[in-house]
């Protein structure tokens, strides 16, 4: 390796890339973090940071910074399923709070933390291609806003550049458990929109679900989904179809109409996949390596988890305490073990099919137990696994509690 070769280059400086760069820099590695965007800037997002993601911010010493932005805390999740309403806590103990910050706020905070940790950050830098030697990624070639071509080398290039990752596109990693987009979602921001709960979610089968929660600047986000079969038709007049969908819950629709929309609609369908997140000279974190439907809004928490896990694996290799293949395979297996249950649950939930009689009976029992309602909220927040919550043993406890 050349003396000018860095330890790590991270492509993408949002909620997967900046934490990866920050954590590596805190360990003393020479890290370059690049992004074609400049910060603060926005990106399509569900915004929500569930308690596992909030716990990561706390570990990193960044939670108080997030609180200082004025983003309201969320300590209740309310699910209106029509005939049944469930309301529970999204976490437990001292880790029971969520936040829904604007990405203009969150991403800038994370970029600043990476800089403070010692990473070099280049904003407004577009990566044009990866560099290879003997089949191994050894660096990048790109250009700044001024147009100058720049080449950088590193022992490892990390793709934290999302769905359209140039790293993933170039190396073509194995992709598995993939499913086409199931639904399309759109959201915007309203002022003067009061909420019955800190987080409100509605499902109106067949084919509609939406949620709302408070974000920065005294605004409330409302995000709504409809099936992919309606995508092309509905995108021709998003506002009309959006509001007509809300009319399935008239009281909520009335509150939205009484409020003021402060921005345009944003949205897109997303595919569902897991990708092998490493190979010779490269690694993937966040949406570049794993993506699922946004209906459970766990993407930011997933990105934070990936960053910590990937950094642990890279540190083991970079420090010489473990080989690359073994360290990174553990990263992949740990990720897949943690996400497969919620991946399948999310894909099934996103179908927005009418609940089966068995599921209606279960939710009817859940509403009679605060513990059971908390447990359901914690499945959505990523605190509890679907396999555990929907196990025969736990379902038996729920029905037993309802009988009393």
User: Residues in the chain, how many?
Assistant: 404
The reply to whether the predicted model has a pTM over 0.85 is yes
Query: How many angstroms separate the CA atoms of 212 and 223, rounded?
Result: 6
Does domain 183-269 sit in CATH 3.30.9.100? yes
Residue 286 has what DSSP assignment?
G
Q: How far is CA 265 from the centre of its chain?
A: 19
- Among 24, 53, 47, 40, smallest CA distance to 303 is for 53
Res. 1 pLDDT band, cuts 50 70 90: very low
């309403």: which residue's tokens? 85
Count of C-beta atoms within a 10 Å radius of residue 176 = 10
Res. 2 pLDDT band, cuts 50 70 90: very low
Query: How many angstroms separate the CA atoms of 202 and 80, rounded?
Result: 5
Query: How many angstroms separate the CA atoms of 28 and 25, rounded?
Result: 5
Residue 329 phi/psi, 5-degree rounding, is -65, -40
Indicate the range of 63-67, 153-157, 171-175, 201-205 predicted with least confidence: 201-205
Q: How would you classify the pairing of strands 149-159 and 175-179?
A: unpaired
- Is the per-residue pLDDT at 3 higher than 60? no
Q: What is the mean pLDDT of residues 287-306?
A: 97
Res. 262 pLDDT band, cuts 50 70 90: very high
Res. 205 pLDDT band, cuts 50 70 90: confident
């729920």: which residue's tokens? 398
Q: Which fold has domain 6-43+103-178+272-348?
A: FAD/NAD(P)-binding domain (3.50.50)
Query: How many angstroms separate the CA atoms of 131 and 35, rounded?
Result: 17
Indicate the range of 36-50, 53-67, 159-173, 195-209 predicted with least confidence: 195-209
Res. 197 pLDDT band, cuts 50 70 90: low
Q: What's the confidence (pLDDT) of residue 172? A: 98
Estimate the crossing angle of helix 250-258 against helix 238-246, to 10 degrees.
130
Between 93 and 201, the more confident residue is: 201
Between 24 and 147, the more confident residue is: 24
| 3 state DSSP class of 254 | helix
| 3 state DSSP class of 16 | coil
Res. 150 pLDDT band, cuts 50 70 90: very high
Between 99 and 195, the more confident residue is: 99
245: left (phi over 0), alpha (psi -120 to 50) or beta: alpha
- pLDDT, one tens digit per residue, over 336-381 is 999 999 999 999 999 988 888 999 999 999 999 999 999 999 999 9
Quote the tokens at residue 361: 């009976």
- Among 329, 381, 306, smallest CA distance to 12 is for 306
Looking at every residue in the chain, the average pLDDT score rounds to 95
Quote the tokens at residue 121: 């950050």
Q: What's the confidence (pLDDT) of residue 27? A: 98
The answer to whether 257 touches 311, Cβ cutoff 8 Å, is no
Q: What's the confidence (pLDDT) of residue 404? A: 79
Query: How many angstroms separate the CA atoms of 310 and 331, rounded?
Result: 6
Query: How many angstroms separate the CA atoms of 233 and 157, rounded?
Result: 41
The answer to whether 375 touches 394, Cβ cutoff 8 Å, is yes
- pLDDT, one tens digit per residue, over 33-61 is 999 999 999 999 999 999 999 999 999 99
Specify the domain boundaries for CATH 3.50.50.60 within the chain. 6-43+103-178+272-348
The answer to whether 119 touches 13, Cβ cutoff 8 Å, is no
Specify the domain boundaries for CATH 3.30.9.100 within the chain. 183-269
């Amino acid at each position: 390796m050349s003396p000018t070769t860095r330890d790590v280059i991270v492509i993408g400086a949002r909620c997967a890339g900046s934490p990866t760069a920050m954590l590596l820099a805190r360990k003393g590695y020479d890290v370059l973090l690049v992004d074609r965007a400049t910060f603060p800037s926005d990106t399509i997002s569900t915004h929500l940071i569930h308690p596992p993601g909030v716990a990561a911010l706390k570990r990193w010493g960044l939670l108080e910074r997030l609180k200082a932005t004025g983003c309201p805390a969320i300590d209740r999740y309310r699910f209106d399923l029509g005939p049944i309403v469930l309301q529970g806590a999204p976490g437990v103990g001292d880790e029971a709070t969520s936040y829904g910050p604007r990405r203009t706020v969150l991403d800038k905070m994370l970029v600043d933390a990476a800089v403070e940790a010692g990473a070099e950050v280049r904003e407004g830098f577009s990566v044009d291609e990866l560099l290879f030697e003997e089949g191994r990624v050894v660096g990048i070639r790109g250009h700044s806003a001024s147009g100058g071509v720049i080449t950088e080398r590193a022992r490892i290039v990390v793709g934290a550049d999302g769905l359209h990752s140039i790293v993933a596109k170039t190396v073509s990693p194995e992709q598995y458990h993939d499913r086409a987009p199931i639904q399309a979602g759109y959201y915007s921001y309203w002022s003067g929109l009061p909420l019955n709960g800190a987080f409100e979610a509605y499902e109106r089968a067949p084919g509609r679900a939406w949620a709302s929660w408070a974000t920065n600047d005294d605004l409330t986000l409302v995000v709504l989904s409809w099936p992919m079969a309606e995508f092309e038709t509905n995108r021709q007049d998003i506002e009309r179809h959006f509001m007509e969908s809300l009319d399935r819950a008239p009281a909520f629709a009335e509150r939205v109409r009484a409020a003021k929309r402060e921005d345009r609609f944003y949205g897109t369908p997303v595919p569902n996949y897991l990708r092998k997140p490493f190979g010779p000279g490269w690694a993937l974190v966040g949406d570049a390596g794993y993506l699922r439907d946004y209906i459970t809004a766990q993407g930011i928490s997933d990105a934070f988890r990936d960053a910590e896990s990937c950094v642990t694996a890279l540190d083991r290799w970079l420090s010489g305490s473990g080989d690359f293949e073994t360290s990174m395979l553990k990263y992949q297996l740990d990720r897949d073990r943690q996400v497969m249950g919620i991946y399948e649950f999310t894909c099934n939930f996103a179908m927005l099919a009418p609940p089966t009689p068995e599921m209606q009976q279960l939710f009817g029992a859940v509403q009679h137990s605060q513990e059971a309602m908390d447990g359901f909220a914690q499945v959505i927040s990523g605190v509890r696994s679907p396999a555990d919550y929907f196990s025969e043993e736990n379902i038996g406890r729920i029905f037993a509690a309802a009988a009393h």
